[in-house]
Structure 1
Amino acid sequence: MNKIAAAITLVIIGIVAVIYYTVDFPFNIEREDFTEEYEIQQKWDLPNRLEEVSGIDFIDDTHVACIQDEEGIIFIYNLAENKIEKEIKFGKIGDYEGIALFKNNAFVMRSDGILFEVENYRTNNRKVIKHKTFLKAKHNVEGLCADLENNRLLVAVKDRDPVNHSTKGIYAFNLNSKKLQKKPVYQIHLEDSIFKNVQTKNKLKIMMPSEVKINPKTKEIYVTDARNPKLLILSPEGETKKLYLLNREKFYQPEGISFDSKGNLFISNEGHSDPANILKVKLKN
């Protein structure tokens, strides 16, 4: 009888351990008190169709291309008129997490590492091409942006990195070869002192990148974490420069980043009790 009880106990402990290290609980990190080092200058509440908004990229200073993580559709949102102007279907139902515009093409990343290229995405002659990468659903791929100067896309891993489990890698997708390089071009070290005010029992959850974008003016790399809202800024060489802890009441789930032509920062948030939104944000310091 004691052996049976012990076996049952071990099974329960094993199940709990698996759940703890694999399930993505949203509110598991404690942070010290912090000062809000940013100002929200403008806010756009998004319609219900974009409640699960997961990625944004500016087309021009009025129009934003948006995706949400349940439908294979690119939504063209007009900031001046506060409405969805056009819907462009490119795929089936799926977990779509990042969008990047490059010339006349749109690229959309699915969380299982499949990259969708929508050629001439705003015309009736568009063509959809799927690119497989070595990243899988277990890595949970969320971040995507265009690196125009280097003719590549940057791809950020949210969960366990395939190369180094003590870092979160940002990988390069070469737009000539249409291949994802296996060695990360940037690495976020989870033991970096910049995370000293972020405490969690699970090291992998210190930073869980939900989006990556390049500031067109400074060339710095911006990375959001939607599970425990924060914004990390890296130098153009990939060194950590600044960490902004975000107030969850204002940034419920920051999933998208984009910049307009003037270098103004915009962050999109999934909805909860309030509608999803796009915020124009001015950082201090």
Structure 2
Amino acid sequence: MKYIYIAFFYILVMVVSFFGAYSCQNPNGKYTSPKGYNFDKPDKFNMPSSLLEISGIAFYKNSSDTIYSIQDEDGKLFRQKWDVKKQKNMKFASKGDFEDLAIFNERFFVLKSNGAIFTFPFSEAIKEESENVKETKHLIPKAEYESLYADPTNNQLYVLCKSCPVDKKKKQVTGYILDYKAELDSIVPADSFKLDLNQIKAVNPKLKASLSPSAMTKNPKTNEWYILSSANKLLVITDEKWNIKSVHKLNSSTFNQPEGIAFDKDMNLFISNEGDEVTDGNVIKFKYR
């Protein structure tokens, strides 16, 4: 009987230890991960000081061999290999508030917080300064924007409001669709859409029906939209028609200030985080399972 009690004691210790460790990683069970990913196990790549304020990230043809990125203050395009801090950069504009980055049609697209979009050829990434930068203004209403996605399947750009007058005092986030005319190298307004934030509470009653998008991308396998909110520490996933399917609360110890998001060709998910006085900027990778 003594041996039975001893065995039971050890089993009890193991169970308590397991749940104790789990609760440290996931207090109160409030942090969750989207299907296919484990947000408790990131592969973290700390950025150099030049990318402390890293914002948007993108891959060329979904290849994560090279990370292309921008940061909030300098009008520079950065490029570097995964886990290699040394970066090279190309100037495309003077200082400004640059928020997100996309690549398609052999061109870079950079979103400024006021809604202006800068474009320049992909081939100029290796230069010190681009000679063919085009800035397009007044495509969308005057407001604050941080999220851009370029869809190569339909030659369209998607921009989400972070803070727009049209959404004031409404439980919604407005987005705009822009057509890219490759033959003319021009961007023209096409349509708009809305996210119903009341759906957040329908999915998780413990969360507020608010969202300040800081980055967006599309899951190439499911066509679901992945929308980050740095201020709310959320990842919101919607279907193709912007209906909210799930909401994931993000652990601030992993996601310091999530400002960029992208998938690679192997469905691995990458999220960039801006740093601060005590934390480096970084890009974290979640392997697809």
Q: TM-score, normalised by structure 1?
A: 0.79
Shift of 1:166: 3.1
Deviation track 1:191-215 (CA, whole Å, cap 9, x = no partner) reads 222353223xxx6xx1100011111
CA spacing shift, 1:161–1:93, aligned 2, 3 Å: same
Shift of 1:282: 5.0
The 3-state SS of whatever aligns with 1:175 is strand
- Out of 237, 248, 268, which is 1:264 matched to? 268
Structure 1 match to 2:25 = none
Q: Are 1:81 and 2:84 an aligned pair?
A: yes
CA spacing shift, 1:228–1:283, aligned 2, 3 Å: farther
Quick check: 2:90–2:126 contact (8 Å CA) kept in 1?
no
* Count, aligned residues: 245
Shift of 1:123: 5.2
Q: Are 1:36 and 2:32 an aligned pair?
A: yes
Structure 2 match to 1:6 = none
Quick check: 2:105–2:152 contact (8 Å CA) kept in 1?
no
Structure 2 match to 1:116 = 118
Note the residue ranges of structure 2 that are not aligned, 5 or more in a row: 1-27
Q: Are 1:98 and 2:96 an aligned pair?
A: no
Quick check: 1:43–1:277 contact (8 Å CA) kept in 2?
yes
CA spacing shift, 1:106–1:68, aligned 2, 3 Å: same
Shift of 1:143: 0.1
Q: Are 1:188 and 2:195 an aligned pair?
A: yes
Shift of 1:63: 0.5
Deviation track 1:164-215 (CA, whole Å, cap 9, x = no partner) reads 843112211110251133x424x2112222353223xxx6xx1100011111
Deviation track 1:6-44 (CA, whole Å, cap 9, x = no partner) reads xxxxxxxxxxxxxxxxxxxxxxxxxx8613333333110
Q: TM-score, normalised by structure 2?
A: 0.78
Structure ID, larger Rg: 2
CA spacing shift, 1:283–1:190, aligned 2, 3 Å: farther
Which residue identity is paired with 1:116?
F
The 3-state SS of whatever aligns with 2:176 is strand
Structure 2 match to 1:15 = none
**Which one is further off, 93-102 or 38-47?**
38-47
Structure 2 match to 1:48 = 49
Where in structure 2 are the equivalents of 1:233-244 lying within 5 Å? 233-244=237-248
Quick check: 2:267–2:288 contact (8 Å CA) kept in 1?
no
Deviation track 1:139-163 (CA, whole Å, cap 9, x = no partner) reads 2110011111111111111012536
Where in structure 2 are the equivalents of 1:7-46 lying within 5 Å? 34-37=30-33, 38-39=38-39, 40-46=41-47
Note the residue ranges of structure 1 that are not aligned, 5 or more in a row: 1-31
Identity among equivalent pairs (%): 31
Structure 1 match to 2:75 = 72
